[in-house]
Structure 1
Amino acid sequence: MSLLNQIDLNSLVVFDAVVEAGGFTAAAERLGVAKAKVSIQVGRLEEKLGTTLFLRTTRKVSLTDAGRRLHDECKPLLAGIQEAIDQVGHEQGELTGTLRLTTSVDHAVQSLAQAAAEFAARHPALQVDLRTGDRVVDLVEEGIDLAIRLGWLRDSSLRAVKLGEFDQYVVASPDYLQRAGKPKRVEDLAQHEWVALMLLPTPFTWKFARRGETHTLQVKSRLRVDSPGALRAMLRQGAGISVLDAYSVRDDLEAGALVRLLPDWSLPRGGIHAVYPQGRHVPPRVRQFIDFYKNWLTPS
């Protein structure tokens, strides 16, 4: 009997997950199984091959030379098998597997969570794993299929599809404006209390435009946050002035909790992007969700 016939091919899938996730615990979370099962599968694979694939310490897991060779040879083959399975399922009109999505907490609440629920309802054989957070995650390390990101992309190692755009508004609460006065010119903004969103590439520099006229504003900030939700809460509390995207501030503007300032001036529009790792194979579930969500954001 050949060695191939003695090896459970699922163990190769588990082995690949450990390599891509960077550890047994992360691989178990990605596969949705217990960590002990991952360890057992890898151990059996090593036993059948008669070699050690990973060097394990209390702090990290790294590939041996044999493990690296096996991964280099097996990865394209596993990707080809997955692509064939996805394609057959797609031809039958059914999406399978797990679609792992990530975005900010605010955007999930405002839009993505509802869209993901609707997409899952249309594809009952598909599992959807939506993860939220305001930090930018490593898509490969965390096994994410697709990230929805708002703003301006900086990571050139990723592929992206632009789904739409959004406006940015300068806003403050009525209480703050009553106390500090309402700015009448762009230059006046620099004299106000400014709350900075540190997720932005340039949180203290803003470029305004109006009918061919431009103005670059430098601000100083005593208050700084790392979350759009926290920023909005501080502004509603009367902490100062800042910039929020039109999506997140819409309800507060309608309710009168925040006021848009200098509406005749505009700021650069931000983009809504579907971002996914570089690679040859993009599963049908990812391609279809990108098309679905683009239509969701721009209904006819």
Structure 2
Amino acid sequence: MVLPDLNRLSMFIAVAQAGGFTAAAERMGVAKSMVSQQVGQLELELGVTLFARTTRRVTLTESGEALLGLSEPLLQGLQDAVASMGSGAAELSGRLKLTAPADYAGQILAPVLAQFALQHPRVQLEILATDQQVDLVAEGVDLAIRMGTLSDSSLRATKLGQFEQVPVAAPGLLARVGVPNQPAMLAELPWLALTALRAPLSWRFTDPTGAETLVRLRAVLKANSTTILMEMARAGLGGAILPDYMVMGDLAIGRLCRLVPDQQLPAGGTYAVYPTTRQPPAKVRSLIDFLRQHMDAAGA
């Protein structure tokens, strides 16, 4: 059998990764008709149907799944090998789209990505800052930064670091309701709950001896954004449990107060994730390594 054209094979992989011909064409910067024509020609060469096409969606057939599983890592390895030739070191290039929570993207990620972009000027970064969970394949996202505990088994994950979860409240609120000196007293305060968490009102505190206390809180407001909770906490509406990187400045100037400071909450993790169906290209692997090194240097 004659080996298929590598350009057609790469277009087939792009359609499979993007979930459709239109998205694949946009990602590759070519016309949709060209992608459709080249994939159709590949099907003729192989004598199989690779995609089941309807007016609403495109899905891989059994033959398509088999070809993707075999060809994707091989083609990626070939691309990486070619990229590493020439000067002896790979020059990263092309679009790299990533998503991250809005607060983390602005406060922590932006300066790190700026350093990465300066080191790799041929990489075009596209950043989607949102507190919503994004469908990585459907949105054409190469890498996502996610916080807390991962629950999606369809994603590969690399842990970049961790952060402390800190219970805080404004001085004005504590002046009205009193300062709690033990975890059980936290239940008497009004709280601001982050709906992105699976159990935003149940928290397990650990004291210096290792003794644990489970506290169930009462919410006066729920939101899907830590930025909103931060502003509401500053206004004195309620207490909030927020990442340490968000509240360090406010704690230092007394704008917020740390509650039960002798107690610890479970640390949250920071992860770089990408779909298991996709072999990450060199630029994504390079960014993951860059982020991990930054986190190690910062002691996160």
Q: State the TM-score, normalizing by the size of structure 1.
A: 0.84
The residue aligned with 1:169 is 166
Counterparts of 1:85 and 1:217, CA distance in 2: 56
Counterpart residue type for residue 142 of structure 2:
D
SS at structure 1 position matched to 2:271? strand
> Does the 8 Å contact 1:113/1:130 carry over to 2?
no
Kindly provide the amino acid, as one letter, of the partner of residue 233 in structure 2: L
The one-letter code of the counterpart of 2:72 is K
* Equivalent residue number for residue 251 of structure 2: 253
CA contact (8 A) 2:83 2:91 kept: no
Paired amino acid for 1:135: Q
Q: Is the 8 A contact 2:155 2:274 kept in 1?
A: yes
Q: Counterpart in 2 of 1:221?
A: 219
Unaligned runs of 5+ in 2: none
In the TM superposition, residue 119 of structure 1 has moved relative to its aligned partner by: 0.6
The answer on 1:112 being equivalent to 2:109 is yes
Aligned length: 297
What is the CA–CA distance in structure 1 between the aligned matches of 2:289 and 2:19, rounded to whole Å? 31
Q: Does 1:277 align with 2:275?
A: yes
Shift of 1:39: 4.0
CA distance in 2, matches of 1:47, 1:33: 21
Pick the aligned partner of 2:175 from 145, 170, 178: 178
* Contact kept? 1:98, 1:129, Cα under 8 Å: yes
Match of 1:149 in 2: 146
Equivalent residue number for residue 127 of structure 1: 124
Over 3 Å counting, the alpha-carbon distance change for 1:280 and 1:149 in structure 2 is closer
Task: Work out whether residues 73 and 279 of structure 2, in 8 Å CA contact, stay in contact via their aligned partners in 1.
Answer: no
1:206 matches 2:199: no
Q: What is the root-mean-square deviation in Å for CA atoms of aligned residues?
A: 3.0
Partner of 1:97: 94
For normalisation by structure 2, the TM-score amounts to 0.84
Worse-superposed segment, 221-230 or 270-279: 270-279
- Distance change >3 Å, CA 40–CA 252, structure 1 → 2: farther
Q: Give distance in 1, aligned partners of 2:33 and 2:278.
A: 32
- Residue segments in structure 1 that go unaligned for 5+ positions in a row: none
Question: In the alignment, is the contact (CA less than 8 A) between 1:24 and 1:39 conserved in 2?
Answer: yes
Task: Name whichever of 130-139 and 25-34 sits farther off.
Answer: 25-34
SS of equivalent to 1:113:
helix
Percentage of pairs with the same residue: 47
